[in-house]
Every structure is written in C-alpha cells, then in structure tokens.
C-alpha cells in the first residue's frame, strides 16, 4: 500500500461519521475496540490501491437489538447533525443489517440516532477534531496493522479504544 493520507475534504466527514458511531456505542453500552480502516490485502495487491473502509469496531448482540441498529445508523445520524445530510456511499456497510426481515427502517433509525446524538454534539465534535488532527499527519499505512483469527481482513487502527473512551468519558477539555 502506498503512503496514503485521508483526503482533506473527506477527512472531516469521516471524522464526524466515525465519531457518531463511537459516541452511540458508548451510550448503548456496547463493547467497542476503536476506530479502524479495514481492507483486504489481496485487493490491495491486485489494484495497488488502499481500497477499504473506515469503521468503528463494536461487538453486536445476536440477534441485533434496537441499540445495535441505532449504533449502525449513528454514523449517518452524526453527518446529518453536523452537515444537514449524509453521504449514501459512506453508509453502505452500515445498512446491511437493516435488510433483515425484522430490521427497522433505515431512514427512521438515522433520524432517531441524530436526535439522540444532538445532546452529545460537543463530544462528537471533540472526538472528530482529535481524529482529524491525528490523521492530517499520520498516513493510514503508518497506523498499527491488525488481523483477526480466521479472517484475511486487516484493520489499521486509526484511534485506539482507550483514546476514544478517554475523550468521550472526559468531562473537561481533553488533552490533544
Ligand atoms: Zn458507518
């Protein structure tokens, strides 16, 4: 993979989107593992490109409960809260579980997530700002690269769980 930075125009949206997922995971009391850029090494070798997607890794319940759906919709919900609307492409993976037979309606859940996050807007802003500052200077390929047992998928750690929690759970101004 080439040294790739997140494009500046994309960085702000990604930061807000992933911060929305993170704050909702904490609100819902879901176990979470941090923010990642996930990719398939074979695809990178084939195209030479760092194709992948950003994600906030959480442990979902099985089957999914209301909180899982709210957490999945919280990326789009945070974008709507900050920018007025969300980018369809950036939420494609978030929508997958909504097609389950008992799944709730996507748009309604995004709106519900937005309303919940409204009370945590400062937390999302603080977390997003920390994410932005970090990744203006650190290339994706320089982030710790992790794997999981039984899977070829790789995960670049964009922000550790510890840092995410530190920012969300702090009451004062967090250290940058
Ligand atoms: Zn998302």
145, 155 in Cβ contact below 8 A? yes
Average pLDDT over residues 141-152: 91
Q: How far apart (Å, rounded) are the C-alpha atoms in residues 47 and 23?
A: 34
Q: What is the pLDDT at residue 173?
A: 57
Q: What is the pLDDT at residue 43?
A: 74
CA 106–ligand 1 middle distance (angstroms): 13
CA 55–ligand 1 middle distance (angstroms): 6
> pLDDT band at residue 101, thresholds of 50, 70 and 90?
confident
Residue, of 113 and 48, whose pLDDT is higher: 113
Average pLDDT over residues 13-21: 97
Average pLDDT over residues 25-29: 96
Question: Is residue 13's pLDDT more than 80?
Answer: yes
Average pLDDT, the chain: 90
CA 148–ligand 1 middle distance (angstroms): 20
CA 94–ligand 1 middle distance (angstroms): 5
- Domains, the chain, with CATH or none: 8-168 (1.20.58)
Question: Is residue 149's pLDDT more than 90?
Answer: no
Sheet holding 151-160, edge to edge: 53-58, 32-39, 151-160, 145-148
What are residue 65's phi and psi, to 5 degrees?
-110, 180
Question: Is residue 100's pLDDT more than 60?
Answer: yes
Average pLDDT over residues 147-156: 92
Q: How far apart (Å, rounded) are the C-alpha atoms in residues 79 and 71?
A: 13
77, 111 in Cβ contact below 8 A? yes
CA 96–ligand 1 middle distance (angstroms): 11
Q: What is the pLDDT at residue 51?
A: 74
> pLDDT band at residue 8, thresholds of 50, 70 and 90?
confident
CA 162–ligand 1 middle distance (angstroms): 20
User: Using one digit for the tens of pLDDT, what is the confidence trace for 34-91?
Assistant: 999 999 988 766 666 657 889 999 999 999 999 999 999 999 999 999 999 999 999 9
Average pLDDT over residues 93-119: 96
Average pLDDT over residues 7-29: 94
């Amino acid at each position: 993979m080439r040294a790739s930075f997140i494009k500046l125009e994309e960085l702000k949206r990604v930061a807000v989107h992933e911060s929305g997922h993170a704050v909702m995971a904490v609100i819902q009391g879901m176990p979470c593992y941090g923010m990642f850029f996930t990719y398939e090494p074979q695809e990178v070798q084939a195209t030479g490109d760092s194709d992948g997607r950003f994600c906030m890794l959480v442990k979902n319940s099985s089957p999914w409960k209301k909180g899982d759906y709210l957490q999945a919709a919280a990326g789009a919900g945070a974008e709507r809260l900050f920018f007025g609307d969300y980018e369809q492409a950036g939420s494609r993976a978030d929508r997958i579980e909504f097609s389950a037979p008992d799944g709730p309606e996507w748009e309604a859940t995004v709106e519900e997530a937005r309303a919940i996050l409204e009370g945590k807007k400062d937390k999302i802003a603080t977390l997003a700002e920390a994410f932005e500052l970090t990744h203006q200077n650190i290339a994706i390929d320089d982030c710790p690269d992790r794997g999981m047992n039984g899977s070829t998928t790789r995960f670049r750690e964009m922000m550790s769980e510890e840092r995410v929690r530190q920012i969300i759970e702090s009451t004062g101004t967090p250290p940058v």
